[in-house]
Structure 1
Amino acid sequence: MASPKSKQIIDSNYIIAKYMDYVLDHDGFPKSVYKFCKDIKIKESDFYNFFGSLEAIDKGIWSAFYNNAIDVMSKNKEYDDFSSREKMLTFFYTFFELLTLNRSYVLFTLNRHKMPMENMKQLRGLRKHIKDFATELIETDNDEKMFKVTKNPVAIYSEGAWFQFLFLLKFWKDDESAGFEKTDVAIEKSVNTIFDVFDNTPLNNVLDFGKFLWKEKVM
């Protein structure tokens, strides 16, 4: 006797997965919550249990990428012992691996509007996540420093981490190297450069990073 079919659990992850599939299958975004719910065969009330609008899903997908990256990192037993530099490197490597797994959707949604600033609106939630993550790292480093003058400015550092992400996102979008290996190099050099600047170490890595960017621009 066949076992009865288990009922599909409808949660935020299910709705997000269906939304991303819808966008790619239809080569466009849903026109309304009603039409989207009808297409994926769920009640509107199920949708509104998790998202207040279609725009909320756009932002929620980026937050889901972030949360998934944090979950993957936290499963590494050695992660807690990493330095702040290593944690930042691990985060960017993990995050962009997740973006690569969903590259078709990410590229499509980042080119949704003709005006770049309109496309950036969906990243507002992610911006807060990344700034909070960077804030935690720099505050941990500051706690280990005895003198106030040697402590790094948290606001500047966290904002810098966000601009660093935007740079890497643009680099990744344009990267045509096998396995996106050039993006990995950009992550390593950019993170090391940022930490070298804040640690007041020699600027060899800054110059090295500049040469790397120039080379990529010329080629």
Structure 2
Amino acid sequence: MAKKKSISQEDIISAYMDYVLIHNEQPKSVYAFAKDNNMEEQKFYEFFSSFDSLEQSIFKIFFDNAHAVLEKSEDYLTFDARNKLLSFYYTFFEILTANRSYVVHALGDNKSSLKYLKTLAHLKKRFTNYIEHLNIKTIDLKQDQLTKIQNRSLKESAWLQLLVTIKFWTEDTSPSFEKTDIFIEKSVRASFDLIDTTPYKSLVDLGKFLYKEKMHMS
């Protein structure tokens, strides 16, 4: 039988996800996978270097699909950072839910935290870049090095929050994963309350006042 010539990245990903869900493991080799799907092995390598890189790409594509949906919404474009992030979470987890069997397999099967984080490496790059461009208001530290540390901490804490939410979702047994929706709303609200600049600015102003008063008294 002639090999298929028109093979897209989506075709390969779909075939791979089907395989691991049916066999509960990765294909034995790229050669065997290509043969089973009636395509040239070279076609696989046009898109991916290995099955691990394919798995990383799947989660990146989940993010890209969620982001594309949001960018088409006129309402989303008018939202503040908090509501944009909430919208992202709800949309992203709808996509994860549509692919829940695969996601639970891919992440639940990774006993090693290193392997787990490696699988989500491309997702992390996409998500932390997204966070960086949300323009979340933080304290103006007026010092470049401190600002860089603050921005890096913000992205890492947001990433940790997403990881925690994914874990919560994989273990959620409520109908339609209602508890995950509640968790998302409460955790995002809490995280923005923690970085709300208003109380911090008040503390900074108080600190400056006390410092000036101390200097004046001395």
Query: So what's the TM-score if we normalise by structure 2?
Result: 0.81
Write out aligned runs for 1:113-128 (5 A): 113-128=110-125
2:92 equivalent in structure 1: 95
| Bigger radius of gyration | 2
97 and 201 in structure 1: CA distance in 2 versus 1, 3 angstrom threshold: farther
Distance 1:30 1:22 in 2: 7
- Is 1:195–2:192 an aligned residue pair? yes
1:114 deviates by 3.0
1:201 deviates by 5.9
- Highest RCO, 1 vs 2 (Cα 8 Å, sep ≥ 6): 2
**Partner letter of residue 77 of structure 1?**
E
2:23 equivalent in structure 1: 26
Write out aligned runs for 1:1-219 (5 A): 9-138=6-135, 141=137, 148=142, 153-200=150-197
| RMSD of Structure 2 on Structure 1 (CA) | 2.2
2:211 equivalent in structure 1: none
**Partner letter of residue 30 of structure 1?**
P
Distance 1:80 1:8 in 2: 40
Distance 2:158 2:140 in 1: 24
Query: Are the equivalent residues in 1 in contact too, given 2:20–2:27 (CA < 8 A)?
Result: yes
Q: Which runs of 5+ in 1 are unaligned?
A: 1-6, 203-219
Sequence identity, in percent? Answer: 43
158 and 146 in structure 1: CA distance in 2 versus 1, 3 angstrom threshold: closer
Partner of 1:28: helix, strand, or coil? coil
Partner of 2:133: helix, strand, or coil? helix
Query: Are the equivalent residues in 1 in contact too, given 2:34–2:44 (CA < 8 A)?
Result: yes
1:71 deviates by 1.0
Partner of 1:51: helix, strand, or coil? coil
Q: Which runs of 5+ in 2 are unaligned?
A: 200-218
Distance 1:148 1:195 in 2: 21
Partner of 2:74: helix, strand, or coil? coil
Query: Are the equivalent residues in 2 in contact too, given 1:20–1:105 (CA < 8 A)?
Result: yes
Query: So what's the TM-score if we normalise by structure 1?
Result: 0.81
Distance 2:29 2:175 in 1: 38
1:118 deviates by 2.0
Distance 1:161 1:131 in 2: 8
**Partner letter of residue 105 of structure 1?**
Y
Query: Are the equivalent residues in 2 in contact too, given 1:138–1:157 (CA < 8 A)?
Result: no
1:92 deviates by 0.8
